[in-house]
Amino acid sequence: MPHNAAAAAARLSIAPMMDWTDRHCRYLHRLLSCQTLLYTEMVTAPALVRGGAVHLLEYDVSEHPVALQLGGSDPRELAKAAKLGADAGYDEINLNVGCPSDRVQSGSFGAVLMEQPALVAECVAEMIAAVDVDVTVKCRIGVDDQNPQDVLPEFLARVIAAGCTRVSIHARKAWLQGLSPKENRDIPPLDYPLVQKMKEYFPNLHISINGGITSLDQAEAFLDSGLDGVMIGRAAYHQPSDILCQADRRIFGTGADTKPEDAVMAMIPYIEAHLVSGGRLNQITRHMLGLFAGRPGARGWRRALSEGASKPGAGPELVLDALDQLETLAARQEAV
Ligand SMILES: Cc1cc2nc3c(=O)[nH]c(=O)nc-3n(C[C@H](O)[C@H](O)[C@H](O)COP(=O)(O)O)c2cc1C
């Protein structure tokens, strides 16, 4: 993979999402788009460095280009964790400066670091010194009563000075008091124009916009407006086919569209291997529920998988049966 493959792929990326973008989810997403940049769930630097939890770095080689997201605020520990990630073959190491959860706040990392740009810059500099791959930052526009118009450019100037050349910005504040992490993804208002303004201030910084983007049309409009990348989270998880099946052609300008049916068939050997190694069907199929969202038979597909996959002994035939039913229904609807 060329050195800056992750930067090129960042025209479209799937956001890091704890418990969602695990390796099975990423394997599926990669079947739907060859080029989109995929992010891991956040892995904390202490878990890797102090806890020795290097199994958290496992991924399938097909997932490239794939970025590892780290959480932490100790520059030395983050540098060590970044090195572990780079040695494991990740194409990019990303620092989480956006996650508002309590657990993360108490460890003094995530969005609360928006208040400590000097420390973030130190973390970034140490990480860059430790690895050859791109080190990037995912941040918010501010937290609590900060004024984003002031703090965001200051924050970006600091990380740029530390050597960071690429960021993703979730275009809303995190309110660290009184909102749950889930509410913090919906309630603080989005400010897309502010993120667009950052591109004017820092034309050489690769900026991906994130937050509330639900279609490729919207993604294309942001790219046309001059932003370098678009990062999509929840919509890509819930309607992966809508976001990913046309992404290679429309966003990257190369490659053919993919079909969710083909992805399902390609998942079968992957599922079989997972079951043979002692895994459960549901660990994979839970990420496949939205594959046919908005299409005839979507509800039956979702029901068959969600009800059947956790039953003892459930195997790939459940998935094949559900696909069969969906295709029969679609053929019947076409005939009328
Ligand atoms: C279930 C879930 C888990 C998330 N976990 C992380 C995480 O580990 N690291 C992170 O930076 N952001 C995390 N996020 C935030 C997303 O990366 C993204 O910034 C946010 O969902 C807004 O984008 P969207 O509107 O396209 O979903 C998470 C979001 C969700 C829904």
Which CATH number do you get for residue 177?
3.20.20.70
Q: Rounded to the nearest 5°, which phi and psi values hold at 245?
A: -65, -30
pTM of the model: 0.97
Q: Whose CA is nearest to atom 18 of ligand 1?
A: 233
**How much is the pLDDT for 103?**
66
How many helices (H) and strands (E) in the chain? 16, 8
Confidence of residue 203 (pLDDT cuts 50, 70, 90): very high
What is the C-alpha separation between 70 and 17, in angstroms, rounded?
A: 12
What confidence category does residue 107 fall into, taking pLDDT thresholds of 50, 70 and 90?
Answer: low
Residue 335: the pLDDT is 82
Mean pLDDT of 55-76: 97
113, 187: one domain: yes
CATH number at residue 268: 1.20.120.1460
Point out the least confidently predicted range of 94-98, 178-182, 197-201, 212-216. Answer: 178-182
Amino acid residing at 259: K
- Is residue 15 in contact with ligand 1, taking CB distance under 6 Å? yes
Helical packing angle, 316-335 and 260-276, nearest 10°? 170
CA distances from residue 163 to 195, 261, 325 in whole angstroms, order as listed: 20, 43, 53
Which amino acid is present at 316? P
DSSP string across 261-286? HHHHHHHHHHHHHHHHTT--HHHHHT
Is there an atom of ligand 1 within 6 Å of 211 CB?
Answer: yes
Same domain, yes or no: 264 and 248: no
Q: What is the pLDDT of residue 4?
A: 77
Q: Which of 252, 268, 283 is the last residue of a domain?
A: 252
Distance 328 CA to ligand 1 centre (A): 36
- Per-position DSSP letters for 11-77, written without gaps between them: TEEEPP-TTTSSHHHHHHHHHH-SSSEEEEEEEEHHHHHTS--GGGG---GGG-SEEEEEE---HHH
Contact 38, 62 (CB under 8 A): no
Q: What is the pLDDT of residue 3?
A: 54
Same domain, 264 and 223: no
Same-domain check for residues 148 and 289: no
Same domain as 34, residue 69: yes
Place of tokens 């924050």: 155
Does 286 show up as a binding residue in the annotation?
A: no
| Contact predicate 142/149, CB 8 Å | no
Residue 106 confidence (pLDDT) above 70? no
Task: Provide the percentage of residues in the chain whose pLDDT is more than 70.
Answer: 97
Overall number of domains in the chain: 2
Do 244 and 197 lie in a common domain? yes
Q: Which of 13, 29, 184, 185 to mutate to test the pocket of ligand 1 (most atoms within 8 A of CB)?
A: 185
Q: Does 221 have pLDDT greater than 80?
A: yes
Q: Which of 140, 234, 239, 287 for a ligand 1 pocket mutation test, highest count of atoms within 8 Å of Cβ? A: 234
Residues 319 and 299 in one domain: yes
Q: Is 300 annotated as a binding residue?
A: no
The residue whose CA has the least distance to atom 28 of ligand 1 is: 17
The verdict on whether omega for the bond into residue 148 sits within 30 degrees of 0, i.e. cis, is: no
Q: pLDDT-derived band of residue 69, with 50, 70 and 90 as boundaries? A: very high
Q: Which of 199, 230, 252 is the last residue of a domain?
A: 252
Domain match, 87 and 222 both: yes
CA dist., res. 20 & res. 139, Å (int): 19
DSSP summary character for residue 190: P
d(CA 307, CA 301): 10
Which range of residues forms the domain containing residue 30? Answer: 5-252
Tell me how far the alpha carbon of residue 118 is from its chain's centroid: 26
Question: What letter does residue 185 receive in the DSSP assignment?
Answer: G
Which numbered atom of ligand 1 lies nearest the CA of 96?
Answer: 11
Q: Assign 5 a pLDDT band (cuts: 50, 70, 90).
A: confident
Confidence of residue 105 (pLDDT cuts 50, 70, 90): low
Q: Who contacts 45 (Cβ-Cβ below 8 Å, separation ≥6)?
A: 70, 71, 72, 74, 77, 78, 80, 81
């970034």: which residue's tokens?
Answer: 124
Tell me how far apart the terminal alpha carbons of the chain are, to the nearest angstrom.
48
Please tell me whether 249 is known to bind a ligand. no
285 lines ligand 1 (CB under 6 A): no
* Percentage of the residues of the chain whose pLDDT score is greater than 90: 91
Strand pairing partners for 13? 37, 231
**Residue 289 pLDDT exceeds 80:** yes
187 shares a domain with 147: yes
Q: Are residues 227 and 280 in the same domain?
A: no
For residues 114 and 165, membership in a common domain is answered with yes
Query: How many angstroms separate the alpha carbon of residue 68 from the centre of ligand 1?
Result: 14
Confidence of residue 2 (pLDDT cuts 50, 70, 90): very low
Our answer to whether residue 99 is catalytic in this structure is yes
Q: Which tens digits make up the pLDDT trace of 293-316?
A: 999 999 999 999 999 998 988 999
In single-letter form, the type of residue at position 198 comes to M
Residues 199 and 120 occupy one common structural domain:
yes
Q: Is 166 annotated as a binding residue?
A: no
Boundary of a domain, candidates 200, 233, 252? 252
